[in-house]
Amino acid sequence: MILGEIYLKLTLMFAGLVLLLFLWLIADFKLGRKKHLSMVSLKERPMLLGSLDIFINGKELFSDYFRELEDAKKHIHVLFYIVKDDEFSMRFVSLLQKKALNGVEVRLLVDRIGGYKMTKKIIRQLRESGVHFSFGNSPKPPFLLYSSQVRNHRKITIIDGKIGYVGGYNVGKEYIDEDPVLNPWRDYHLKITGAVVPFLQREFLNDWKGDVHENLLDQASYFPPLTEGEIRLQLGGTEAGLLESIYTGMIKNAKKTLIIGSPYFIPSKKVMYELVRAAQRGVEITILVPLHADHMLVQEASYRYLRRLLKEGAHVFQYRNGFYHAKTVLVDDTVCDIGTANFDKRSIFLNKEINCFIYDQPFIQRIKTILETDIRDSTPLTLQKLNERHFFRSIKENLAGAISYFL
């Protein structure tokens, strides 16, 4: 009898602790999000004139990227979501060390979670060579759960204040097609020159200020005078839900065609509502996603949305020639978005992202040709296939739906 009472008390205590933990996690996330929302606002995106090039192959991108880093004379500012510890990543790290030892100012900011493979030894070597290094967006109290989910997903490089890079590529062997599973890697990354680059510089320096508490925004040497290019574009940094209004606005403006390319397709309720409305008013919607996923449950999380859009007449293609990681939205051949944001709730509500909105017809046609090639290298996904009975897939879909915010 006594043992039974003790067991019951222990069980009730354990259940109480679990309930308290659950309630604490809910409060942490809700209060953390409320604070985050109070700190941000949608900034005006001025129309800028710059010059663009696009890379869709990692080896070609990093060949050009490393060459520009080698040629840097004054300062290099780099932000990546992921830097790994493989041989390719060490080439990148060694190049930054070399430039710092040669007197170039080098700053490297890497997301704290995305850069978890960067060891203390690597960081020590960077700092000893003169590289200014910091992890970005480290989880911190009082909202540990929420802050652990807010990632700096941007990928920005500015060289001498004159050359910029932004897009989907990170630093690791998979991005140059040396991973046996995710190979080849398909992504889109922009190289930017001209009067647009100062905007990228400010975005980096704002993030640097937020994480390092060093304000360099008034340093004129980081903002050399630049001539305007020929391509009309806007750059927009987003976080804490700001991307949702941008996506819904683009979809509302679609009149004929809408193409979305993303490794993860988990739209918010408002974005999904506008997609359905667009399909119902006759907009031809094409969605391009990977055939094989790189993370658990992300594919199953997308099925409920893809199933609804297929019913409305949308076309869905699964890229089969490697892993598709590009992030793009193309509306009526009039505006194209390429950047770091995935078409999912994490990028919409949690991550820090940066996107480039392009309004130049010749360049948009170039991107459209790339998309058409990628669609040809894809397999159509049909409603019939999605509706096939599959016990384990159904379980995964239900689980993915419950945690889709965090995938």
Question: Residues 364, 58: contact at Cβ < 8 Å?
Answer: no
pLDDT of residue 3: 65
State yes or no: pLDDT of 124 exceeds 80. Answer: yes
- Give the per-residue SS3 of 59-103: HHHHHHHHHHHHCCCCEEEEEECCECCCHHHHHHHHHHHHHHHCC
Can you tell me the distance from the alpha carbon of 198 to that of 211, in angstroms, rounded to the nearest whole number?
20
Residues with active-site annotation: 153, 155, 160, 325, 327, 332
State yes or no: pLDDT of 140 exceeds 90. Answer: no
- The fold of the 239-406 domain, in CATH, is Endonuclease; Chain A (3.30.870)
State yes or no: pLDDT of 45 exceeds 90. Answer: no
Can you tell me the distance from the alpha carbon of 369 to that of 378, in angstroms, rounded to the nearest whole number?
14
Tell me which residue has tokens 């790339």: 370
Can you tell me the distance from the alpha carbon of 216 to that of 163, in angstroms, rounded to the nearest whole number?
18
CATH number of 49-231: 3.30.870.10
Residue among 370, 360, 251, 284 nearest 319 (CA): 370
pTM over the 0.85 mark: yes
pLDDT of residue 1: 53
User: Tokens standing for 246?
Assistant: 């941008």
pLDDT of residue 373: 97
Q: What's the rounded mean pLDDT across residues 29-50?
A: 86
C-alpha distances in Å from residue 182, one per residue of 91, 176, 177, 316: 21, 10, 7, 21
Identical topology for domains 49-231 and 239-406? yes
User: Where do the domains of the chain lie?
Assistant: 1-39, 49-231, 239-406
What is the CA angle 156-162-167, rounded to 5?
A: 25
